[in-house]
Amino acid sequence: MNKPLPNRQSIRLKKYDYSKSGYYFVTICTHNREKRFGNIIARKMELNDAGKMVLTVWNEIPKIYNKILSAMKMN
């Protein structure tokens, strides 16, 4: 038996056009907030192999989707 999903509220601005060019903040959460992509050491993200793979794919997004600015980078 599946539990019902919690009633979540959207944090999007009601009349904002999200298709406009601009910078957007992206948060990625893992199941149970497990550290799947590496660890923070001395206030710096140290990527493991999975994290390096995600970074590689992330940086390929502008080449795949031409509407996304090529300036988009994950640091």
* Residues composing the chain: 75
11 conformational bin, left if phi > 0, alpha if psi -120 to 50, beta if neither:
alpha
Q: Which amino acid is at 52?
A: K
Residue 37 CA: distances (Å) to CA of 3, 29, 51, 60: 28, 11, 4, 18
Q: For tokens 């959460």, name the residue.
A: 29
Q: Per-residue confidence of the chain (75 residues) as pLDDT tens digits?
A: 677 777 878 888 889 888 887 787 888 889 998 999 999 999 999 999 999 999 999 888 878 776 655 455 544
User: What is the domain partition of the chain in residue ranges?
Assistant: 19-75
Q: For tokens 């550290």, name the residue.
A: 35
CA 36 to chain centre: 13
